[in-house]
Structure formats: C-alpha cells, structure tokens
Amino acid sequence: MSEKRNYNRPVEVASGIFWVGYNDPASHLHCNPYLIVDNGDAAIIDAGSRPDFAIVMLKILQTGISPGQISTLIYHHADPDLCGSILHMIDMCNNPNLKILSDPKNNTFVSFYIERDKRHLLKSIVDYPEGFKIGNRVLKFYPTPYAHTAGNFVTYDIQTGTLFSSDLFGSTSKDWNLYLELKENCYTCEKIDLCDECPLREIFEFHRTVMPSEKSLRFALETIEKLDARLIAPQHGSLIKNKKVIDYLIKQLKNLKGVGIDGITV
C-alpha cells in the first residue's frame, strides 16, 4: 500500500539524501532533483529546469541548509530538464568554491547554459577517478555512454548504496508515486506490455523511446549490476528501494527488445 506523503516538502529517501522534485499531477513526466547533505556540505544532483527552480530551491531551504553550503552541482547529461536552472543555482548559491561536475562529452553542451565568465566552474568527473567527496561521504562516477547521451554516467553514493541513475530506470507515470511498488504476480507476468495497470509497461516504453539502442542499454545495466545498489534514484519516474525489484528490473531491461533504433523496422 502506498504511504501518504506530502510532496510539497522535501522527502529524505536515504540518510542525508533528499528528494526535492516536483509532483505535477497534470504532467506524465516527473523530474527528480536530489540534494545530498553531509557534515555541512551539500550537492545537488540534476537540479532541474528553469520553470521548476523556485519549487526545487524552496524544498532545499526547507531541509535547513543555506544556499551557500551547496558546493557542487552534478549533471548526468545536458538536457534542459536537468540543466535549465544552472544560472539560477549559481547565483543563489553564491559560493566561490562551487563546482559544476559532468562528463567532458557533456560539458561542451552544458557550457551553453552558463555565462562565459562563469564557465570556469565547470569541471570534469574524469578528474576524480577515486571518487568525489561531499562532506565525509564519497561519490563514485561510472560511465554509461549512450544511455542516453554520449557522455552519460551514473553516480553512486557508497555510504547509503544510493545510485543516481539519470534516465535509466526512469519512466513517464500516469499514476505517480515516489516509490515504485509491484504486486507479487508482476514477477511472473508474461503480458506486461498488454497490462494497462502495470508500472513496468511505462518503464519499458520510456526506455524504448529514450535509449538509442539495445546494446547501449545493456552495457549500462551490466555496469550497474556490479554495484551494490540498495536504492535507485532516477531523474524521472519513481524511486526503487526494493532489492528484489532492482534485480528484476535489471534483468528485464537487459533483455528488452525494440529499444531506439532497434525498434525501427526497415
């Protein structure tokens, strides 16, 4: 049964990790920025679009931190639903030590959201092969190229086992909840694509539409399954906190057919 939650406030989804997204019942595409707070230091994951900035920042302030504590902005790719509010975030944080982190292949495009005199804030995840520290916790970056952009990567919080998965495991959601919930018979259902009530159908359709190919999706999932992810926090759709669901979804998505270009019949 779904828990009753107040989506007008931040939700702590793991120790020191807050969902600061926006639940818009009129939209089927829910965006999920996340805030990490540790020992007075803070980072924002995929901060969101320009129209959502006020909502996201209000929830950040409701956690009790000040904008000046935010030292890092992490962007998994350069789409506007992630990056549209970058300039607002830079100005609001007003932190001289602020870093904007992404993959070098993304940074070419992320830079176009930033005024030229502030582009020195843009840094590469490649420079942190041993991990990046927020307070006392370490974040590790893992490349997942072409899932769905050339510079895509995922971010893994070693302390909590939280995987910030970008568009992987995402979905459009007609009946959205913060956490994905499956019924027991979902694990043995052979007619997922025919079931209008199954949330997996929305996840599969999202991956077929957003990911460029079966090969790129499978490569990304093979990278992820090597990690001990106990919570998956995608940029769209619902979070996944059940290990059984995580393992099942990885298996199903690795075998998903009709993804991207592979779904086009010539």
Largest CA distance in the chain: 56
- What per-residue confidence (pLDDT) applies to 173? 79
> Which pLDDT belongs to residue 172?
85
CB 44 within 8 A of CB 33: yes
Task: Give the closest residue to 144 by CA, choosing from 68, 253, 237.
Answer: 253
CATH class held by domain 11-261: alpha beta
Among 153, 180, 191, 154, smallest CA distance to 244 is for 180
pLDDT of residue 209: 94
- Helix H segments across the chain? 53-62, 80-83, 86-93, 104-110, 199-210, 214-224, 243-254
pLDDT beneath 50, residues of the chain: 1
8 A C-beta contact, residue 76 and residue 108: no
- Residues in the chain, total: 266
Per domain, the residue ranges of the chain are 11-261
Query: What is the per-residue pLDDT across 18-62, written as a single tens digit (0 to 9) for each?
Result: 999 987 777 777 889 999 999 999 999 999 999 899 999 999 999
pLDDT recorded at residue 194: 60
Give the pLDDT of residue 191. Answer: 66
pTM: 0.93
- DSSP bridge partners of 133: 138
Give the model's pLDDT for residue 1. Answer: 44
CA distance 256 to 1: 28
CA dist 153 and 142 (Å) reads: 5
Question: What phi and psi, each to the nearest 5 degrees, are found at residue 12?
Answer: -80, 115
Q: Can you name the residues that pair with 29 across neighbouring β-strands? A: none
